[in-house]
Amino acid sequence: MGIPDGDLVRLARDGDPAAFRLLVERHLPMARARAARLCPQPDDADDAVQDAFLQAFLALDRLRDPDRFAAWLGGIVAKTASRRSSSSFMLSRPSPAASRSTSATLCRSWSEARRFFRSESPEGWVISRA
């Protein structure tokens, strides 16, 4: 396994970018697997993993026990993925025919919204929480 996680965390805290890169490479398979179980869409799982690693990097100084990095990261991935999978968005566009009429589409994830916009012209659409 090489250098223990705790030592890599300490090096990353001291500004060594290679140390955090090694942590990412080591724990990326676990993070992807956990996010994939929680996010129905692969794009959302990938986004959750990216967000989780960013949050972990920004919060390294708050990690109490550097030797428990894997468990700590796993919790961040789970929270991030759960938030993504539970988010729904309503996309709506006022109808040109009537000021009160709207057309709407419910999207269960950002990846679903992206697919929708690839098939529709995004002008005039409004995104809101469902």
pLDDT in tens, 38-96: 887 888 899 899 999 999 999 999 999 999 999 999 999 999 998 876 655 555 555 55
Q: Of 31-35, 54-58, 119-123, which range is least confident?
A: 119-123
Chain mean pLDDT for the chain: 79
Asked whether the beta carbons of 19 and 12 are under 8 A apart, the reply is yes
Assign 130 a pLDDT band (cuts: 50, 70, 90). very low
Asked whether the beta carbons of 45 and 32 are under 8 A apart, the reply is yes
- Tokens for 39, please give them: 């996010």
**Domain 5-86 class?**
mainly alpha
Domain boundaries in the chain?
5-86, 89-129
- At residue 113, the 3 state secondary structure works out as helix
Amino acid identity, position 4: P
* Mean pLDDT, range 123-130, rounded to an integer: 50
What pTM, to 2 d.p., does this model score?
0.66
- At residue 59, the 3 state secondary structure works out as coil
The whole-angstrom separation of Cα 51 and Cα 62 is: 17
